[in-house]
Chain A
């Protein structure tokens, strides 16, 4: 088991290394200079330009630039964001926890909701409920995340103003609220983005889980369970689900990329200051270091996510535990 963990960690490290290479290639593959927005901008101070020159070695040959790049990455230095006028690390550092919170809630929520829906669908196979839920899942699954977010923004903050319009916390009042008040404030601002992301993601989970359950149901051991005199519900919950959950664990790893991109859009639309919001604003200002920082962090998150999912799977499947 330990060997398995070590193996997967090594693999993850290799992947991150390759990601670094890819991002470096991207930076320099573009025609023209990605830093031209910074370098030619008269509003940017000379100090910033100098920092960039030093850090990225912009006048040096490519291999040397790459070496510098790698070494700065190794030191956790992601560059300077001129639009925020702080290091990329600082910007993303404050923004990341918000995104993690959002993604975490959405992950837990969507999987719970998705599994529940799948169970209902399978328990009432072929009924109107089953078909209706399938249709709704398909609809949500086919929706672009940003469109759904825009609609829910319109619906719940404009037409039916239930939730605050944006932000992570109330910009004015937050500091004056007591501990409980602050928690509630955060929750109110988290609610709509989180619900939006959760609902969208749970469609995919429900479809996947339903298929997994239907795959498991004809199995011989299900027939054995029936022979023992268990009710259909007990069979579904105890025997079928436990087996059908295994592929779902792989889905957790696979859903990280989608959750991340979904979070990006949701954050922009709801003005929720997470990593996605920062990166999207960097697009507008052509703040390239910040964008690349976001790409790297995002990739690391996805890699870690899939690593965790693999580990979880190995733990959950007794057939793999022996190794």
Chain B
């Protein structure tokens, strides 16, 4: 009978060449036009910041003529105008890019470190420690980040940029630690399932081989968004006067300097803000593209 069972190898279908999830994700991100544009714009801003000394037309701290050159609206000589101390706003914005971006990145690194550590420990430990840590986390989340920072920074009369970075970082890890904890928890349960197969030493290997790949994408997305948040936050704090100390230039600082008078000098509000919006927008676009790319596994 032709329908009796026969021994045959299962049909495996055409093989697709292996691609690391990282490469695949990257390709997907770059496929969207919005991501390419965002990456380009962000790249330009970063480059400008990095090369600030070469790009800025004037010294951002120079106050050449505090009587004659102050509060000038945009002109050819000063495309972004001058501030109440006769400093060139364009140069300050360029140096501001450098400072604000640097603060954003460094603070985010702090946040990532603390967040991953906290979440991993909490998830791995489990039990009472986990419960306590999570309650603590809830409480931290209940204090609006800006308020927390105001509370801390007002108490310190003169803090350095380093301290600012640390504080910004220490207030931004809450959400990420939750995500990390979730992954670790899921892994713990999976561990028990494969307990029979796992050898003593391979537990760590499983953790390494399974934990990290799953975490890379949420961490990268969180980091991107984190930088955006810190930039906005630092600007807000500088605007309130408790952020980057003068005479250094940061985007928020410049807006602060321009708001001292009743009617704001519009060019001092507009230009730093525009750069901020551009930077944050590009970061948001990239973060969204990244999370889209990795979700479609």
| A and B in direct contact, judged by CB atoms within 8 A | yes
Interface residue ranges, A against B (CB under 8 Å): 11, 14-16, 18-19, 22-23, 26-27, 29-32, 34, 36, 138-139, 141-147, 150-151, 153-154, 158, 256-258, 260-261, 264-265, 268, 279-280, 282-284, 286, 288, 291-292, 294-295, 298-299, 302-303, 306
Interface digits, B136-160 against A, CB 8 Å rule (1 contact, 0 not)? 1011111111111011101111000
Contact A288 B154 (CB under 8 A): yes
Contact B281 A138 (CB under 8 A): yes
Q: Which residues of B contact A257 (CB under 8 A)?
A: 141, 144-145
Q: Which residues of B contact A306 (CB under 8 A)?
A: 142
Please pick, from A16, A147, A158, the residue contacting B255 in the complex, using a CB distance under 8 A.
Answer: A147
CA distance A86 to B240 in the complex (A): 23
Q: Which residues of A contact B280 (CB under 8 A)?
A: 142-144
Q: Which residues of A contact B150 (CB under 8 A)?
A: 279, 283, 291, 294-295
Within 8 A of A (CB), among B268-291: 269-270, 273, 276-277, 280-281, 284-285
Closest to A259 in B: B144
Closest to A265 in B: B236
Interface digits, B227-238 against A, CB 8 Å rule (1 contact, 0 not)? 010001001100
- Extra contacts, 18 of them, besides A151-B269, A295-B151 (Cβ < 8 A), are A18-B139, A22-B139, A26-B155, A32-B157, A139-B277, A142-B228, A144-B235, A144-B276, A145-B236, A150-B255, A256-B144, A257-B145, A261-B144, A283-B240, A292-B151, A295-B147, A303-B142, A306-B142
B217 at the interface (CB under 8 A from A): no
CA distance A29 to B153 in the complex (A): 11
What are 15 A-B contacts defined by CB distance under 8 Å? Answer: A36-B157, A144-B235, A146-B239, A146-B255, A147-B255, A150-B273, A151-B273, A260-B144, A261-B144, A261-B145, A283-B240, A292-B151, A295-B147, A298-B144, A302-B143
Q: Which residues of B contact A31 (CB under 8 A)?
A: 156
Contact A283 B242 (CB under 8 A): yes
B63 at the interface (CB under 8 A from A): no
Q: Which residues of B contact A268 (CB under 8 A)?
A: 240
CA distance A36 to B157 in the complex (A): 10
Please pick, from A19, A34, A147, A286, the residue contacting B276 in the complex, using a CB distance under 8 A.
Answer: A147
Interface residues on B, range: 35 or more
Contact A144 B232 (CB under 8 A): yes
Q: Which residues of A contact B228 (CB under 8 A)?
A: 142
Contact B284 A141 (CB under 8 A): yes
B264 at the interface (CB under 8 A from A): yes
CA distance A64 to B255 in the complex (A): 43
CA distance A36 to B276 in the complex (A): 36
Q: A291-B150, A295-B150 known; A302 and B239 CB under 8 Å?
A: no
Q: A15-B142, A138-B285, A265-B236 known; A26 and B152 CB under 8 Å?
A: yes
CA distance A111 to B284 in the complex (A): 21
Interface secondary structure of B, over-half rule: helix
B263 at the interface (CB under 8 A from A): yes
Closest to A34 in B: B155
Q: A141-B284, A144-B236 known; A154 and B266 CB under 8 Å?
A: yes
Q: Which residues of B contact A303 (CB under 8 A)?
A: 142
CA distance A102 to B241 in the complex (A): 24
Contact B139 A150 (CB under 8 A): no
* Minimum-distance CB pairs A-B, first 10: A30-B155, A18-B139, A257-B144, A142-B280, A147-B273, A261-B146, A142-B281, A34-B155, A295-B151, A299-B143
Nearest CB of B to A256, in Å: 8
Q: A19-B139, A30-B155, A284-B241 known; A299 and B266 CB under 8 Å?
A: no
Within 8 A of A (CB), among B142-180: 142-148, 150-152, 154-157
Closest to A294 in B: B147
Contact B269 A147 (CB under 8 A): yes
Please pick, from A14, A15, A150, A299, the residue contacting B269 in the complex, using a CB distance under 8 A.
Answer: A150
B210 at the interface (CB under 8 A from A): no
Contact B264 A154 (CB under 8 A): yes
Q: Which residues of A contact B241 (CB under 8 A)?
A: 283-284
Q: Which residues of A contact B140 (CB under 8 A)?
A: 22
Within 8 A of A (CB), among B211-262: 228, 232, 235-236, 239-242, 255, 259
Closest to B280 in A: A142
B135 at the interface (CB under 8 A from A): yes
Contact B240 A280 (CB under 8 A): yes
Contact B273 A144 (CB under 8 A): yes
Closest to B239 in A: A146
Nearest CB of A to B107, in Å: 16
Nearest CB of A to B176, in Å: 15
Contact A299 B144 (CB under 8 A): yes
Contact A260 B147 (CB under 8 A): yes
CA distance A154 to B269 in the complex (A): 10
Please pick, from A29, A284, A302, the residue contacting B142 in the complex, using a CB distance under 8 A.
Answer: A302
Closest to B136 in A: A18
Please pick, from B136, B139, B148, B152, the residue contacting A30 in the complex, using a CB distance under 8 A.
Answer: B152
